[in-house]
Amino acid sequence: MTDKKISFIGLGRMGANMARHLKDSGYTIASVYDVSKELTSSIAEELSATAASTTAEAIEAADIVFTVVTDDAAMRSIFTCKGLGNAAGRLFINCATLSPHAHTSAANAAATAGAETLEAAMASSIPQARSGSLYLMIGGKEAVFETYKPLLQDLSSDLEYIGPVGSAAKVKALVNMVMNINTAALAEGLGLGDALGLDLEKLTKVFSKTGANSRVLETDAEDMLIRDHDCFFSAAHAAKDSGIANALAAENDVSVPLSQATEAQYQKLIASGKGELDKSAVAELTFKGRNES
């Protein structure tokens, strides 16, 4: 599989580190593209790749194209006649957390152009992208997945085939919905504990031994306490992803008041200019004295 030429479209925290890992694993990164020309040039130089000036250039340079973009609109801009260019025979591996409709629309456009697609939804963060230990949820044709499984395994410590295109996006929306609710709930619990004058180190220890335990407690509690919100997963992305889940709930006539309240909290962070902080910054809204205007 290392004989295949690879391009990356989207060079943010995840895309750039995935590209670095594949380069270190013996793959040829033929071309890279990002809406930031400065970032494109920098990553291209680092990886000895061509700095593409358009998505079509990046696509034409490779056999396999990874897309790791910010939102549905960015995805749509790639999967147009102009954006795709000569895509026939290529495989697109679309990794961003987007609406299921965005993934199915991209797959349909790629098929029309003679290309294949897989979803590779990621339930991990920047260190795992760099080390090749992502947890991947795959959507698309199972035969295509089996063909390219060795490449996906080089990026992951574990992966799960979910089903047809769009299905991985649905699962990822629910993963992030629950994660974001847990994060907001932890921020409220710690904020209230602080207001009650409790020892927050002891409180987090008790949480870890009881039904209040969660993965988010492990990853975010300390950051909430010491106000270290360097970004691994931004508040803006949390708001976007909760919004995707909430839209799916509305489409299926399911009430999700906790998820709606969580999205509202993250929207408050964005409105206060803190959208690019880590999602742990939701604690800035729940600790007394932190959010005074």
State which amino acid sits at residue 91: L
- Strand ordering across the sheet containing 134-140: 50-51, 28-33, 5-9, 64-67, 91-94, 116-122, 134-140, 156-163
The region that residue 179 occupies, defined by phi over 0 for left and psi between -120 and 50 for alpha, beta otherwise, is alpha
Residue 149 designated active-site = no
- Given a contact cutoff of 8 angstroms between Cβ atoms, the answer to whether 37 and 97 are in contact is no
Residues 125-136 as b/e (b if ≥16 CB within 10 A, e otherwise) read: bbebbbebebeb
Q: Is 218 helix (H, G, I), strand (E, B) or coil?
A: helix
Residues 6+ apart with CB under 8 A from 275: 234, 235, 236, 239, 266, 269
Active-site entry in 170, 172, 274, 279: 172
The candidate with the shortest Cα–Cα distance to 251, out of 182, 177, 184, 170, is: 170
Q: Hey, which residues are catalytic here?
A: 172
